[in-house]
A and B are shown apart, each in its own frame.
Chain A
C-alpha cells in the first residue's frame, strides 16, 4: 500500500473512531472498547476493498460484511457514515428510541448493514450462508465477517467453522478481533478460547495472523485470502481494545460503557491530535 493511501485510510479510521466516541457519549452507553479495536479492519474493507456503493447499498452483486461481534456496532456505523451510507449526524441518535442506529446492527433499517447481529455466534453462520448462496448461484461476490475473541467461546462459532470448511467456502473471510478482553475480564480469567489460530487450522481453515491495526498487514492478509482456492480464511487480528484513546486502551471497563462529556472531550481531542499528526 502506498504511503499516501495509508495516511488516507488512517484518517478515515480516526474519523470513524471519533464517531464511536460521539455516539457512545450521546447514548451514555454502548461498547467503545471493542469498537475501537476493529475500526481499521472495517475501514480497509469499506474504503479500499469491498465492492459496495453507498448510493446503492442493496445492489445485488455487492460484497457483504457481517459484524458478528455486533456490539461493536458503533465502529460499523462510524465507518458506514464516514463512507457516505448515511449522514454522520445520525450517530448522535445512537441507541435512542425509534433511531435508525439501534444498539446492535439492524439489517432492516440501516443502509449498508448486511445482517442483523449481536447475539454472539450467529453472524459467522449467517456470513457462511451468504457465501454458500454465492457459491450455489455462481455469484462472485465475497463475504467478510468479524468475530470477537470472547465471542469464540460460543459453540456456534465452531459449528460455523466446521460448516464453512466442509463446504469449501473460500469466498468467506473471517477476521477474529483478538483484543484479549471480554466483559468479565481477560480471556484467561474467563474461559479462554485461545489459541484461535490453531483451532481454525484444526477446523481446516486457511489461517493468517496479523496486527489488526496495520493497514499493510490487513491488505496483505485479505489478498492472500482471495488467492486461497479451497478453504475459508481466518485472519487472526491481534488488536488493542480501546485503540487510539489512551485512557481506554486495554481497560476492561471500557467494554460496555459510554464516556461522559469530559471523557468524550478528552478522547476526541486525542483523536484530533492523531489526525493532525498524520
Chain B
C-alpha cells in the first residue's frame, strides 16, 4: 500500500491560490493578520503585489472585498472560520450576499481540530450561519486534492463562495484522478444497508467506518458531500430510497450543518431515519486535535455506532 500523505486543507488553499495566479492575474487576496496561519502567506510570498493585509479587522475586510468585487474583479478574503463566518457574519450577509458579489471566502481553522487554542477559536457554527445566506455556495473539502480543485472551481463560479479549510494535517484520500464538481456529492463506496454522508475530515473516518461495518456484515454506502450548499438532493434521495437509513458525519455542530441539510431533503422527499455525527451542541476545548476528535465523538467508531442505530430505526 502506498504511503498516505498528511496535508492540511489550508496548505492546499495557499498552494491553489498560487496555482491560480499562474493562470490569471485579475484577482487579489485579502487577509486579516493571519496569513501565516491561513496559508495565504504562501501566496503573499509568491505574489506580494496581489496580496493586501487588512489587519485585525475582519468586518472591514469583508465589506472591502465586496466593494472590490463590485468593480468586476475577483477577490479572496481569508481568516479563521470563527471570524470570517462568525464575527463578520453580517458583513458577509449584507455586503457580499445581498448584492451577490464575486467574493471567495477562504475560512481556515474550522471545527474543533483547531486543537490547543480551544473553544473561542473552534468554530462549529460556520456552515449553519453561511447556509442561511441566499445564494451562498459552501464547500467543505475532505482533503488536499479536493481543496485544490475546490479553490480553482470557486474561482470560475460567479457569486459568493464560502470555502471551509482545516488546520490539522489530514490524510490525502483522493488520487489525482478524483474529480470535484460544485454541487455534486460523490459515492465513494457502494452499499445497501445504510448510507454515511460525510464532509471534510470526517470523510476519512467514514471510509474507516465502511471497513468496520463490512467486518460485521453491514453494507454501507459512503458519500462525500463537499458542497453543502447547494446540496446534492438527488444523491441524498437516491441513498434514502435504496438504503433506507442515513448517518451524517461532520466536524461541525449537529445544529444547522450537513446533518440538518440532509435531514431537510430526506424529510421532504423520502423520510427515513437520519442520525447525525457531529459536535453535539457544545463548545470545544483545548487539547491535541486528534484527541479532541475522539473526545467529541468524531471517529469511525462513532459513525459505526450511529449506523447501527439508523439501521435499527428502519421501519
Shortest distance from the beta carbon of B113 to any chain A beta carbon, whole Å: 29
Taking a contact as CB atoms under 8 Å apart, the answer to whether A129 and B57 are in contact is no
Minimum C-beta distance from A57 to chain B (A): 13
A156 CA / B90 CA spacing, docked (Å): 12
* B224: Cβ under 8 A from any A Cβ: no
CB A113 to nearest CB in B, in angstroms, measures 9
Task: Kindly report which residue of chain A lies nearest to residue B88, judged by CB atoms.
Answer: A156
Q: How many A-B residue pairs have CB under 8 A?
A: 104
Partner of A116 from the list B52, B57, B64, B98 (CB cut-off 8 Å) is B98
Question: Which of B11-19, B68-76, B233-241, B262-270 lies on the face that meets chain A?
Answer: B68-76
Residues of B within 8 A of A115 (CB): 66-67, 70, 95, 99
Q: How far is the CA of A118 from the CA of B54 in the complex (A)?
A: 23
User: CA of A44 to CA of B173 in the docked complex: distance in angstroms?
Assistant: 60
Which of A9-17, A91-99, A160-168, A239-247 interfaces with chain B?
A160-168
Query: Count of A residues near B, CB < 8 Å?
Result: 35
Q: Assess A163 versus B57: contact at CB under 8 Å? Given A107-B99, A119-B94, A133-B73.
A: yes
| Known pairs A108-B100, A114-B70, A159-B57; A129 contacts B63 (CB<8 A) | yes
Q: Are B52 and A132 in contact (CB under 8 A)?
A: yes
A163 touches B60 (CB 8 A): yes
Please determine whether B60 and A133 come into contact, CB atoms closer than 8 angstroms: no
Cβ of A133 and Cβ of B94 under 8 Å apart? Answer: no
A155 to B57, CA, bound (A): 10
Q: How far is the CA of A69 from the CA of B60 in the complex (A)?
A: 16
A132 and B64 contacting across the interface, CB-CB below 8 Å: yes
Residue of A nearest to B50 (CB): A136
B225 at the binding interface (Cβ < 8 Å): no
Any chain A CB within 8 A of the CB of B48?
A: no
Q: Rank and list the top 7 A-B pairs by shortest CB-CB distance, nearest first.
A: A129-B67, A125-B63, A126-B67, A159-B60, A129-B64, A159-B57, A129-B68
* Interface pairs (16), CB distance under 8 Å: A64-B70, A107-B99, A108-B98, A115-B66, A115-B67, A115-B99, A119-B95, A125-B66, A126-B70, A129-B67, A129-B69, A130-B68, A132-B64, A134-B71, A160-B60, A163-B54
Residues of chain B at the chain A interface (Cβ within 8 Å): 26, 28, 52, 54-55, 57, 59-60, 62-73, 75, 90-91, 94-95, 98-100
